[in-house]
Amino acid sequence: METEQLLRTAADRLEALAARTTAGDWRAGGLLATRPEVVAHLPGGGTEHVAEARAGTGAWITALSPALAAPLAGWLRAAAAQGAADPAAAAFARALLTRLP
């Protein structure tokens, strides 16, 4: 598979996975014993505990595991080293930085 097709396929699969998981803005709330409570804040104003939607979210959590940190960081560093702003890398970085303390 050529690189361009590989990238498109990965993007398609990631979007498909996101489409079938619990939607909304996920936020960590209070602690339940030793684990955080994750709540999805839905576009219509409602909320849903992510734990209650495990069937749809398990694959998302697995796909976006910490194993992706190194390749994503490498992509961002490579985009920064090119000097010209990669709009996708910049959008990803902005979104990520709003989620990280």
Question: Which of the residues in the chain have pLDDT under 70?
Answer: 1, 30-34, 84, 101
Residue 76, pLDDT score: 93
Residue 101, pLDDT score: 67
Whether residue 59 sits in one domain with residue 21: yes
Whether residue 26 sits in one domain with residue 3: yes
Question: CA-CA distance, 60 to 22, in Å (whole number)?
Answer: 9
Whether residue 71 sits in one domain with residue 32: no
Whether residue 75 sits in one domain with residue 26: no
Question: CA-CA distance, 61 to 52, in Å (whole number)?
Answer: 14
**pTM (predicted TM-score):** 0.69
CA 43 to chain centre: 17
Whether residue 59 sits in one domain with residue 46: yes
Whether residue 58 sits in one domain with residue 86: no
Whether residue 54 sits in one domain with residue 7: yes
Whether residue 76 sits in one domain with residue 44: no
- What confidence tens digit (pLDDT) does each residue in 65-88 have? 888 888 999 999 999 988 767 889
Residue 75, pLDDT score: 93
The domain tally of the chain equals 2
Residue 92, pLDDT score: 92
